[in-house]
Amino acid sequence: MPRFSIRRTLAVGSLRAFLRLEAGVGREEASGPSGETERLADGLRGARRTSQKRARRIRALKAELAELGAARASDARLLEYLLSDAFERRAPWVTGVRMNGKTYGRGSRHASPRLGEFFRAFPEASRGRVLEPGSLEGAMTVELARRAREVVGLEARAESVQRAEFLKGLFGAENATFHVTNLEEDDLSSYGAFDAVFCCGLLYHLPNPRAFVERLAAVSPNLYLDTQYARPEWDLTTREGLRGWVRMEDPSDPQSGVSGTAFWPTLDELRRLLSESGYARVEILSLLPDNRHGPRVHLAASQ
């Protein structure tokens, strides 16, 4: 005998009613559907009331969100005004900081690849002590402080250190300290020992680079150096036993040195200087011979 199968989807309520009728239960209800209809109507009214309450709650939440958004926008405008005012009161700036899509001060140094080069060359600098001679207005210092245990910034001009202290407070870099000092004379020993030195944009402002590098070597075994150098075909002279070029400086310029001249060794002489100062390993990380301000190099030196 052939077998057939019937596949059909039945509503649970209909199936339940069917089974109740088959069992002889609820025949009175079937003959009088008004009770079931009333129950359904009550359920619909209750659901409608619940939906209305939910809709009112949703409208209230949307209104609260709109108010919160307006308050946040007002807070953002107030914050922008306060930041602009704080930076303007400390102007003129050499560096700057970009926050919430806006740059305050001048050109930002925060995105510089030098920070990445430094920590890759000297991983021990992370959670260690870092010396930053020539910290200027502290833009690099507060970035170093995000990874190092302690950062000491040294700067010749008091007004630059005042701006650096402002950035320190703004970013909460409590592990950074700043000192006003003449780096041409300071022997650096009073600041203790360091895991690494981050020296950017300073050496080419100094009249006697050999003496300075030797002082750095006495306080740390690791040196990251970003500096400019002289080309061999320039009008060279000899200073401190090094061949290089004498450049005029303007001490009134906050981006200049505090002496009237600076001495740029050639690249070969710079490497020799590092070697003679006790750095056994000298690695060129970036070579920028066509830099618009003069040939530039980033070096990592270790004892």
CATH number at residue 157: 3.40.50.150
Assigned domain for 269 exists? yes
User: Do 195 and 257 fall into the same domain?
Assistant: yes
Assigned domain for 24 exists? no
Q: Give phi and psi for 199, each to the nearest 5.
A: -120, 105
User: Do 203 and 272 fall into the same domain?
Assistant: yes
User: Do 69 and 144 fall into the same domain?
Assistant: no
User: Do 123 and 268 fall into the same domain?
Assistant: yes
Assigned domain for 241 exists? yes
User: Do 124 and 236 fall into the same domain?
Assistant: yes
User: Do 45 and 151 fall into the same domain?
Assistant: no
pLDDT at res. 34:
64
Task: Record the pTM.
Answer: 0.76
pLDDT at res. 134:
97
Overall number of domains in the chain? 2
User: Do 121 and 201 fall into the same domain?
Assistant: yes
Assigned domain for 12 exists? no
Assigned domain for 81 exists? no
Assigned domain for 48 exists? yes
54: domain range?
Answer: 34-76
Assigned domain for 231 exists? yes
User: Do 72 and 115 fall into the same domain?
Assistant: no
Assigned domain for 176 exists? yes
pLDDT at res. 179:
98
User: Do 153 and 235 fall into the same domain?
Assistant: yes
pLDDT at res. 72:
78
- Geometric angle at alpha carbon 62, from 60 and 63, rounded to 5°: 65
Tens-digit pLDDT string for the chain (303 aa): 443 333 444 444 544 454 455 545 555 444 456 667 777 777 777 777 777 777 787 777 777 777 777 877 788 888 888 889 999 999 999 887 888 888 888 865 445 789 999 999 999 999 999 999 999 999 999 999 999 999 999 999 999 999 999 999 999 999 999 999 999 999 999 999 999 999 999 999 999 999 999 999 999 999 999 999 999 999 999 999 999 999 999 999 988 899 999 999 999 999 999 999 999 999 999 999 998 889 999 999 999
pLDDT at res. 4:
38
pLDDT at res. 68:
76
User: Do 226 and 116 fall into the same domain?
Assistant: yes
User: Do 241 and 179 fall into the same domain?
Assistant: yes
